[in-house]
Every structure is written in C-alpha cells, then in structure tokens.
Chain A
C-alpha cells in the first residue's frame, strides 16, 4: 500500500540525501540533535558511488574519508552516492549505519552488545538502540528535506563545491 502517489519520480533525492550527508561531514556540519540528546556522525569505512549516465559503480573502502583521493575525484567527476556508511557517536555509544538507495533504506547496523545479564533487559536495551538509530535516520532525513527546499541548499552547494575544488 503506497500512501503517497508521487507526482513524478523523485528517487534522485535518495542519492542527493547521501551526497548531502557526505558533504555535511566534509564541511564539519555533522552535529545534530534528537529527542534523547546530540549526536555527530563521521562518514567512514565504505562508500559506493555511481555514474548516472553509464551506471558504472565504484566501491571504496577507507578508514579516513578525509584522506581518500578517490572519493574527491569521483565527486568532481559528477558521480553520485549510492551507498554510504556512517559512524554515529552519541555520548558514550557508537553505531555504524549503512544507507543504500533504490529504495533508500538502512541496510546494515552495528550497535553495542548489551551489558545486561537477563534476556528481558538485553532485549529492551537493544530495542532502545534500534529505536534511536531510526530516530537518527529520521532527523537526518528531515534536515535534508528542510535544507533542500529552501535557499540554505544553495549555500550548502556553494560551500561543498568550494571544498571539493580546493582539495
């Protein structure tokens, strides 16, 4: 059951969202708030970029995206982000989340093991982590939506282009 009948195909927004996350990380604008506190994220470990004209995909593994020239080259060549892994840090807790497009979704999650001793507490703790991860996803999506539909988008694009050009 699809609730929204899209007026047209807006799946392009999925890769724009992932590219936006990458850009926010590179620009150091990667701190956000949820109902339960602040978090920041780092784009790291894994990224898949693709050429929308040739549909060629390249997969890059890197522990430090700041030092990875292949990513900068791919972005300068106009490649879009198809899959992106981020590490989220919230207080003393850290999550690894991988997003993928077509359709946009979370495809991989690593969360801390539960330190609880009994099954009930283990399940509740891990359930809370899962809830938080999706809250983070919704916060990032909403931030993208707010930016994408206002003049803030052009400010972001200008800064991101300057960043990429100066590498």
Chain B
C-alpha cells in the first residue's frame, strides 16, 4: 500500500463540519458502512469501507484504525464491466432463441428490454469485478482527508460514503480555499479575486 511504502501520492479533500469522534465511534461507523455490509450482487459497482491493511485485516473491531490521532482505513471499489462486443453476440443468440420459442418474427421494445435485463443479470453474475482499494487518512482536527486515488468516480463514491458514515460533506480543495485556510486573511482573498493575468 502507498502509505507504508512506495510513492506517497495522496490527494487532500476538505470538509467544514466539526467532528470529534472517538476511535471506537469511527470503527463502528466504518463497520456499519463496510464493503461487506453494503454489497449487493446485482450491482455493477459495489463499494464500502475496509480496514487498513486489508485483506490481511478484515474486521474493523480488531484492526488498527487509530494512528497517533489519525484514522486510517480503506475504501474498496469493485466494478463489473461487460464487454460490449460479447454482450452483442450473446444478445443476438438470445434474440434468435426467443423469437423461435415464441413464434415471433420481430421483438417489441418491451421484449428487447426484458432480454437485455436478463442477459445483464446473467453476465454480471458470472463476471469477475475489477477491484481497487483507496487508502484514506481522516484528520478530524484539520478537517481534511487524504486519499490515495482520485477521479470523478472515486470522488462520487467517497462523497456518498462520508455522508453516510460521518455526516460530512467532503469537497475538493481549491487554490483560494487553501490560502484562506492557511492565512485566515479575508482581505488577502478579496485582493486575489480582483487580480488579472500578468505577462511574465
């Protein structure tokens, strides 16, 4: 995992709410919205919290979460994708069989939807997911979290999970927001917002 070794590339996200949770409260929240508890087989994407050092550790109540005041854990994201070409081939097969069985010469819109849903369910069940683990560090004092991977999909997932588990709204940082937090100088921010581009 990146936090222990290798590149320490983590992205910072912020939240405004004040939270003062004990380690036990954090563990209970993580356990409640854990990957195992949120998992549904028919979903394309499953996600939820996992302990730090997963899969060596699988149980929140026995895993280490508190590291000198920082809460460290992970988010597991399993995503199933069906290859479009394979889907199209299988759909044609199902379509031919359906027309023969039902003595039809063409599919209605309802028929097509029925077949597509049935095929999706069948292929999803048998396909393996792509799994990724995002490492998370929660710093309550500084109202920020550090995450080891970030794109729009991961951001949506994290926003959802943190809202559920901790009732906080996380957001991406901006240059101005960072300066405001560091300096606490409203006039400086006002002056920056009035600037125009400079040609070096």
Q: What residues of chain A have their CB less than 8 Å away from a CB belonging to chain B?
A: 1-4, 6-8, 10, 12-14, 16-17, 19, 23, 75, 78, 80, 103-111, 113-114, 119-120, 122-124, 126-127, 129-131, 133-134, 137-139, 141-142, 145-146, 148-149, 153, 157, 160-161
Q: Do residues A106 and B171 form an inter-chain contact, with CB atoms below 8 A?
A: no
B158 within 8 A of A: no
Q: How large is the interface on B (under 10, 10 to 19, 20 to 34, 35 or more residues)?
A: 35 or more
24 contacts across the A-B interface (CB closer than 8 A): A4-B177, A13-B175, A13-B195, A16-B198, A80-B200, A105-B173, A106-B12, A109-B7, A113-B5, A119-B53, A124-B68, A126-B8, A127-B72, A127-B137, A134-B12, A137-B178, A138-B179, A141-B175, A141-B182, A142-B182, A145-B179, A146-B188, A149-B191, A149-B192
Among B3, B7, B173, B195, contact of A123 (Cβ-Cβ < 8 Å):
B3
- Contact call B193/A6, Cβ cutoff below 8 A: yes
The list of the 5 closest CB pairs from A to B, nearest first, reads A149-B191, A12-B197, A111-B8, A138-B182, A1-B171
Main secondary structure of the interface of A (DSSP, over half): helix
Interchain CA distance A150-B146 in the complex, whole Å: 33
A133 to B198, CA, bound (A): 28
Would you give the shortest CB distance from A164 to chain B, in whole angstroms?
A: 8
| A3 with B171, Cβ < 8 A, contacts A113-B5, A119-B53, A127-B68 known | yes
For B4, give the chain A residue with the smallest CB separation: A122
For residue B67, which residues in chain A have a CB less than 8 angstroms away from its CB?
120, 123-124, 127
- Chain B residues with CB under 8 Å of chain A are 3-5, 7-12, 16, 52-53, 64, 67-68, 70, 72, 137, 139, 146, 169, 171-183, 188-189, 191-195, 197-200
Q: Give 18 new A-B contacts, CB below 8 A, not counting A1-B171, A109-B8, A123-B3.
A: A3-B16, A3-B177, A4-B176, A6-B193, A7-B193, A103-B174, A106-B9, A108-B9, A111-B8, A119-B64, A124-B67, A127-B3, A141-B178, A141-B179, A148-B192, A148-B195, A149-B188, A161-B200
Contact (Cβ within 8 A) A145 B183: yes
CB distance from B108 to the nearest CB of A (A): 45
The reply to whether A10 and B195 form a contact with Cβ atoms under 8 Å apart is: yes
**CA–CA, A120 and B4, complex, Å:** 10
Q: Which residues of A contact B146 (CB under 8 A)?
A: 130, 134
